[in-house]
Amino acid sequence: MDKIFLQKMHFYAYHGVLPEENRLGQRFQVDLELFLDLASAGATDDLQKTINYAEVYEAVRQEVEGHKYMLLEKLADQIAHKLLKEFAIEEVLVRVTKPDPPIPGHYQAVGVEIKRHKA
């Protein structure tokens, strides 16, 4: 299976359990791996035989910036289901990173990674 990936898409949104996360918002980073057969696109050089990256970005942006979820798990799951529904992909890996969560400690980031398949 071939793969298209989009890395380090950055968004500002209002997801989180704590009230200040919902009120003040914070940065989120999304990485995707889209699994599909790219042989036809490679052979024909035809955009219609592949996935338009700009459309994928916009679908993710709408989900991240247009909704509020408490959990990163829910956000990642919603992104995955949206992409599987709207695009001709067989499988998707979604990684959502929260670089600055309001929790004590020393770390670079927290996040979740999920993989979903077309039903």
Q: What tokens were used for 110? A: 């927290």
- pTM for this prediction: 0.95
CATH number of 2-101: 3.30.1130.10
Per-residue model confidence (pLDDT) at position 81: 98
The dihedral formed by the CA atoms of 41, 44, 48 and 54, expressed in degrees to the nearest 10: 60
Residues in the chain: 119
3 assigned to active site: no
8, 82, 98, 115: the active-site residue: 98
Per-residue model confidence (pLDDT) at position 44: 98
Chunked into runs of 10 residues, the chain (119 residues) has average pLDDT values of 97 94 94 98 97 98 97 98 98 96 87 95
Per-residue model confidence (pLDDT) at position 106: 86
Cα-based distances in Å from 61 to 37, 73, 77, 81, 119: 25, 16, 14, 14, 24
Q: What whole-number distance in Å separates Cα of residue 46 and Cα of residue 87?
A: 16
